[in-house]
Structure 1
């Protein structure tokens, strides 16, 4: 009986999520049409990036069971002092890797410059992490700062992750400490 209730609950949640995703896709399509060919100021871009991040990461959870958007928001706050352009890229930093949003979608909505920065911070499938991805990312001042904020936030969460998977937490800690040292000094 409890199993059936859980299944019904999961079905209801999945149905609600599907409706939300469909609504978001419609919103994105409308925004693309409205913004086609327009120059959008940085505060408008920032607001649009935040809205898109919340919509596209809806229903995603991190390894600690927290809504994934909390991480994205923390990264955005970590670079907010550098300006709206940095914060915009931070809101979008995982959107291509972790959602069905494409770089073409980003360009249509935000323009070529934002696309370049999001592309710089997006790891490609099967791409060597330090040798290729980080080397490419470091060519962009904005992507480098956003990635530093991303890695720093991931390091802050290591103690909580150690309770779940100590070995993986240690490996992640080593990776992000090396990354932060590399990004900070070059």
Structure 2
């Protein structure tokens, strides 16, 4: 089995040269997602590091398996990967069928929803994404334990903590 350091290095290589919507090296996003999952064990941290690898790089789920990534981690990555032609709302509902994938997507959503990241986006895009992420949280959070959500948010986006109780 791969170590966390090896999986982090794999994610770093896979996302080399990529930047996110605000121009930050993409690997910073997957590391932030992974950090929010540390309380749930190494397999969820690995899934956080790899959650966008199949979607945004040349890597496939089979290549991840061949590289020694545990089957459960690959299954979580596969669960959160966009499928061409699948509407976002349907993807979110599908993710909630797997409790671990739900936690990974909650961490991803929380990082994507950070005000400091959104502030760099054009106003129209910022408002559209905020609405999309807010609706996704409604579905994702209904499928997870509030304490688990809070554990993730405390690390990834503490500003969202007030939404748990409202």
TM range (shorter): 0.7 to 0.9
CA shift digits 1:72-104 (9 cap, x unpaired):
110000111111111010000000011000111
Q: TM-score, normalised by structure 1?
A: 0.71
> What do you get for the CA RMSD once the two structures are aligned?
1.5
Deviates more, 1:162-171 or 1:67-76: 162-171
Higher RCO, 1 vs 2 (CA within 8 Å, ≥6 residues apart)? 2
Is residue 138 of structure 1 aligned with residue 96 of structure 2?
Answer: yes
Structure index of larger Rg? 1
Check whether the contact 1:63–1:161 (CA below 8 A) recurs between aligned residues.
Answer: no
- Structure 2 unaligned blocks of 5 or more: 144-166
Paired residues, number? 142
**Where in structure 1 do 4 or more consecutive aligned residues deviate above 6 Å?**
none
Deviation at 1:49, TM superposition (A): 1.6
Distance 1:61 1:134, change over 3 A: same
Deviation at 1:163, TM superposition (A): 4.5
Deviation at 1:47, TM superposition (A): 2.4
- Structure with greater proportional helix content: 1
- Separation of aligned partners in 1, 2:64 and 2:128: 32
- Structure 1 unaligned blocks of 5 or more: 1-39
